[in-house]
């Protein structure tokens, strides 16, 4: 009975993982390779976010002080290098773009990115950052194959360069993207930068994940020790019955 129960759980988990992988492959989303355990990657991602994204987007559920604590930064480092809005150290990350300007330039206010990875997955965000291309037909001059007709201009074009769309013969469907003008970074370096930014947004979506992972190993060790103790106690109590 126990073996059958364990086999059923393993089979169910395998079906779930297989389904998620199939959906990602079907959607053409490249794996992000992101994660919140690499503190150096999170620091680089934070630098990218505050230099290229915070002008329009907020992280209204994350405080500067929490970023400093979790990313191993001092208050001085955060206030000098990441805080460009004049906010206090204990305040949340709020964009300084007035809503009226956002409506004027983009037609709507840019979304808060606190829960972007939770809502759309890290793979989606990473693919989105790699899928911008020039499109003169769009109001902002850019389009995106992952999120067609996006109203956002590409903030990282200086780093990646300019991509142009190659469309299928006799169709308006984009077949692939080609780098027509190189940026400041090589393709490999830009992929790492996009991965770092995705990792930071993954952290921002759940800052407690860092603490949960740190304490999780001790919880598992406690449960393993308690299970062994309970088993030995059971053997001692039942030895005379058998």
- Residue numbers in the known binding site for heme c are 53, 56-57
How many CB atoms are located within 10 Å of the residue 192 CB?
15
**Nearest Cα to Cα of residue 97 among 112, 119, 114, 79:** 112
Q: Which two tokens stand for residue 160?
A: 């990646």
CA angle 94, 100, 104 (to 5 degrees): 120
Which residue has 């190993």 as its token pair? 217
CA angle 162, 29, 172 (to 5 degrees): 55
Pairwise CA distance, residues 216 & 184, whole Å: 40
Please report, in range form, the residues annotated as the binding site.
53, 56-57
How many CB atoms are located within 10 Å of the residue 183 CB?
18
CB half-sphere exposure, 130, CA atoms < 13 A: 24
Pairwise CA distance, residues 187 & 108, whole Å: 32
How many CB atoms are located within 10 Å of the residue 31 CB?
13
Which residue has 């983009």 as its token pair? 106
CB 93 within 8 A of CB 59: yes
At residue 62, φ and ψ (nearest 5 deg) are -125, 135
CB 36 within 8 A of CB 42: yes
């Amino acid at each position: 009975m126990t073996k059958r129960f364990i086999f059923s759980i393993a089979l169910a988990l395998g079906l779930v993982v297989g389904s998620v992988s199939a959906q990602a492959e079907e959607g053409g989303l490249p794996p992000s390779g992101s994660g919140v355990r690499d503190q150096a990657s999170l620091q680089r991602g934070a630098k990218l976010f505050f230099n290229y994204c915070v002008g329009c987007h907020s992280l209204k559920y994350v405080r500067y002080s929490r970023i400093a604590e979790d990313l191993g930064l001092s208050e001085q480092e955060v206030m000098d290098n990441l805080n460009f809005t004049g906010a206090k150290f204990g305040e949340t990350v709020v964009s300084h773009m007035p809503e009226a300007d956002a409506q004027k330039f983009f037609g709507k206010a840019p979304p808060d990115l606190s829960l972007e990875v939770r809502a759309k997955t890290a793979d989606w965000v990473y693919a989105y950052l790699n899928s911008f291309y020039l499109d003169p037909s769009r109001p902002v001059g850019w389009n995106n194959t992952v999120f067609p007709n996006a109203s956002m201009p590409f903030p990282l074009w200086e780093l990646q360069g300019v991509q142009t769309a190659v469309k299928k013969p006799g169709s308006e469907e984009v077949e692939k993207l080609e780098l027509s003008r190189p940026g400041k970074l090589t393709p490999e370096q830009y992929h790492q930068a996009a991965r770092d930014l995705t990792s930071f947004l993954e952290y921002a979506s759940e800052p407690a994940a860092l603490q949960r992972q740190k304490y999780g190993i001790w919880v598992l060790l406690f449960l393993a020790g308690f299970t062994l103790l309970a088993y030995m106690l059971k053997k001692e109590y039942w030895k005379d019955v058998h």
